[in-house]
Chains A and B, each alone.
Chain A
Amino acid sequence: MTVSVARPPTRKPARTAPATTQAPRSSFPWLALPATVWVLATFAIPTAILLASSVLTYDGAELTGPLTGANYADLFRNSYFRSVLWDTVWMSATVGGACMTAGLLVAHFLVRSRSRLRTLVLLIVISPLVSSVVVRTYGWLVLLQDDGLVNKVLLTAGLIDSPLPLVGSRFAVILGLVHVLLPYAVFTAMSSLQSVDPSLELASRDLGAGPVTTFFRITLPLIRPGLIAGFTLTFAISLGAYASAAVLGGGRVQTLATLVRDRMVVSLEWGQAAAISVVILVIGAVTVSALLLAGRRSQAGVG
């Protein structure tokens, strides 16, 4: 998934910059070749096969024609699929929203504060990146299970009478995903905030706006493209996230990703699995395009 961080909404450079001062073009376009080949081999080709298998028939040995929309028709007629689709979309949107809100708060602290705790906070924020997703997810399992830390604390405090069924809830899946994806959100928000000249915020304060007004009238509009990009990124990753949903969902929370697995491994309906994968891909692509377009538009307003 490649979601570019939106270009920082800084002032345009002086219009007087003549074309001759542009940096000379790189004369080594083949430097991009290895990565391009790699992406083609590992992403584009499998995707093409996936697309093909969703519209062909698998007869047990090989894919055969003719082209058919039967897999998709079956899917969308199936009310269970539709409810899983809806669950996945709203859960991913919640994850994206929560990530960007929390990420923005953390990023604001990291970028604008001069506190000595910054390094520590930064380390904590990036810690999910350096541990395996399975380890992190099982960590949450330990915390959230019936005799886990969270339930013990709540029971001891007398807030609940019996353990909450946290594992296997959508809440647990969302929590796990937010944890995993928070670093992406923090980094996107940080790069946006860093591009906002602090003297703009000072000017706003100087003109009589309090800190909250300054944030909503000056800072937020300027970082909106970055926030949109960050939301898109975390939303798109959540759409297809499997490990968190499988482990923390405890088999009771079904998302598109776990559904793909079920259709492939349990019911052996590979055509259906491919079609669901394509649906994930399409939702992701459409969201990314729409939000990036919106981001570009609000950024154009900045120029």
Chain B
Amino acid sequence: MTAHMRTSAEPAARASGARTSGGFGVVLRGIRKQFGTSVAVDDLDLDVRPGEFLTLLGPSGCGKTTTLNMIAGFLTPNQGQILLDGQDVSRQPPDRRDTAMVFQQYALFPHLTVGQNVGYGLRMRKRRPAEIRVLVADALERVGLVGREGHRPGQLSGGQQQRVALARAIVVRPKVLLFDEPLSNLDLKLREQLRLEIKHLQRELGITSIFVTHDQTEALVMSDRIAVMREGRIEQLGSPDEIYHDPANSFVAGFVGQSNLITGTCTGSGPEAGECTVRLPGAHMLPARLVGTARPESGAPVQILLRPEALRLATTSTDPTVPAGLTIDGQVTEVINEGSVATVVVRVTDALRLRVAVPDPGGRGLPSPGDAASVVIPPGVARALPN
């Protein structure tokens, strides 16, 4: 958990950071939001660095959108402070905050042209018409919609509408860009393409961005850092790599990526420091690296994470391409072929079923359900999670 409060010496550092990266920081301190008796956001601390792309990731109802709406000013927190570039904006209305949001449903003004939509924020900022024209054209060019100023939003496709919304947000060069699941209404191909476009644009402009999504792939692909949220709290804050490979707990491990989560028993410390040796169901012994706050005592149950793509499938015990490691024999119960990768489920015992990812399955000859198979767990891939 790296969500933390800034110390008093740091605003200066932030200011200089802002100069070099061109971005502004956002700090949430002890934010709490209740709707009636239900707590949507619970004592949340978050420090968004200047210029970074931070994703709030979590299932629906985890408080991510509420958090975003509080940063935009659409909601007022019951407690806590929101600092934008060092200024407390917690009680300011949205039009007094230098943020710009890209909405899930685009929220383009249907009675205005694309050009008027994109220029709306500049007009509110009392910029001169000639200047607005130039900036609008530039913003539309950046999102690949050159010369569409005169169209109505209704004449554009969903992807184009979201590009207009993106242009409308970046054209005012806000201190923070806010994204509220902007890609979830688009089909997969377009979504994958827009992810990269948004990411590139954000990097180019260096605008601090907060992105809300429930799509873990989106979060992993786009973010500098990810905050995984559950029930109004941040479960883990870290780089995509940390979140994926060293999840702080079984919730994060289960939410991000495919995973085998196995309950084993700790039998004592492992061969290396920071490891424990775990007895899996079926009596195999496996050294696992301790993650986060996990300090299981000997004899205590412990959650083991094995990513399917870290495991290897061996159909013959002498397969030379399979690395050394703990080998567990079992029987194939299911084969899910997605083309570029296949998932093979191997049943060892009733309490132990392992999902193994087989990349590029086309050339390999996948096993069939019922076949005998061995799963190889290479050293160093197992993680022991705190309960």
| Contact between chains at B111 and A202 (CB < 8 Å) | no
Count chain A residues whose beta carbon lies closer than 8 angstroms to a beta carbon of B: 25
Known: A205-B95, A207-B121. A11 touches B111 (CB 8 A): no
Asked whether A226 is an interface residue with its Cβ less than 8 Å from the other chain, the reply is: no
Q: State the Cβ distance, A222 to closest chain B Cβ, in Å.
A: 6
> Which A1-36 residues have a C-beta within 8 angstroms of B?
9-12, 14
Q: Tell me, rounded to whole Å, the shortest Cβ–Cβ distance linking B366 to chain A.
A: 37
Q: Quick check: is B99 within 8 A (CB to CB) of the other chain?
A: yes
The answer to whether A205 and B94 touch across the interface, beta carbons within 8 angstroms, is yes
Tell me whether A197 and B107 are in contact (CB under 8 A).
Answer: yes
Give, as a whole number of angstroms, the nearest-CB distance from A278 to chain B: 39
Are A208 and B101 in contact, CB atoms less than 8 angstroms apart? no
Report if B364 contacts A (CB, 8 A). Answer: no
CA distance A303 to B155 in the complex (A): 8
Is B125 close to A, CB under 8 A? yes
B164 → A minimal CB distance (Å):
12
> Contact mask B162-205 → A, CB, 8 Å, 1/0?
00000010001000000000000000000000000000000000
Query: Is A200 within 8 A of B109, CB to CB?
Result: yes
Give the contacts of B90-125 with A (CB-CB under 8 A): 93-95, 99-101, 103, 105, 107-111, 120-121, 124-125
Q: In the bound complex, do residue A200 and residue B121 qualify as a contact, i.e. CB atoms below 8 Å apart?
A: no
Chain A nearest CB, measured from B96 CB (Å): 8
Residues of chain A from 152 to 211 with CB closer than 8 A to chain B in the complex: 197, 199-200, 202-211
A218 beta carbon closer than 8 Å to chain B: yes
**Chain A residues within an 8 Å CB radius of B330:** none
Cα–Cα distance between A207 and B164 once the two chains are bound (Å): 14
B40 to chain A, nearest CB (A): 15
Asked if residues A199 and B103 are in contact (CB atoms below 8 Å), the reply is yes
Interface positions, chain A 108-126, Cβ under 8 Å from B, are: none
State the Cβ distance, A70 to closest chain B Cβ, in Å: 50
Given A199-B105, A303-B152, A206:B111 Cβ within 8 A: no
Assembly CA distance A11 to B108 (angstroms): 9
Interface membership of chain B positions 267-282, coded 1 if the CB is closer than 8 angstroms to chain A and 0 otherwise: 0000000000000000
B158 touches A207 (CB 8 A): no
- From B154, which residue of chain A is reached at the shortest CB distance? A12
For B152, list chain A residues within 8 Å (CB).
303
In the complex, whether A302 has a CB less than 8 A from a CB of chain B is yes
In angstroms, Cα B109 to Cα A206, docked, is 13
Contact between B95 and A202, CB atoms less than 8 A apart = no
Residue on B nearest A222 in the bound complex, by CB: B111
Do A213 and B124 have beta carbons less than 8 Å apart?
Answer: yes
Contacts A197-B105, A202-B94, A203-B103 given; indicate if A208 touches B111 (C-beta within 8 A): no
CB distance from B103 to the nearest CB of A (A): 5
A206-B100, A207-B172, A210-B95 given; A11·B120 CB < 8 A: no
B154 with A11: CB separation less than 8 A: yes
With A14-B158, A202-B94, A302-B111 in contact, is A207–B72 under 8 Å at CB? no
Q: Is the CB of A206 within 8 A of B101?
A: yes
> What's the minimum C-beta distance from A293 to chain B, rounded to whole angstroms?
18
* Alpha-carbon gap, A211 to B124, bound state (A): 12
Bound form: Cα–Cα A7–B38 in Å: 37
Closest to A298 in B: B111
Partner of A221, one of B93, B111, B153: B111
Which B residues touch A207, using CB under 8 A?
Answer: 95, 100, 120-121, 124, 168, 172
Which A residues are CB-close (under 8 A) to B109?
200, 203-204, 218
In angstroms, Cα B95 to Cα A208, docked, is 4
User: Of A10, A204, A206, A221, which contacts B99 at CB under 8 A?
Assistant: A206
Cβ of B154 and Cβ of A205 under 8 Å apart? no
When chains A and B are docked, how far (Å) is the Cα of A204 from the Cα of B94? Answer: 9
Q: A-facing mask of B186-229, CB < 8 A → 1, else 0?
A: 00000000000000000000000000000000000000000000
Contacts of B100 in A (CB 8 A): 206-207
Given A14-B158, A205-B93, A301-B111, 18 new contacts (CB under 8 A): A9-B110, A11-B153, A11-B154, A203-B109, A203-B168, A204-B120, A205-B74, A207-B95, A207-B120, A208-B121, A208-B125, A209-B95, A209-B120, A210-B95, A211-B93, A302-B110, A302-B111, A303-B152
Chain B positions near chain A (C-beta within 8 angstroms): 72-74, 93-95, 99-101, 103, 105, 107-111, 120-121, 124-125, 152-154, 158, 168, 172
Can you identify 10 A-B contacts, CB atoms within 8 angstroms? A202-B107, A203-B109, A205-B73, A206-B94, A207-B120, A218-B109, A221-B111, A301-B111, A302-B110, A303-B110
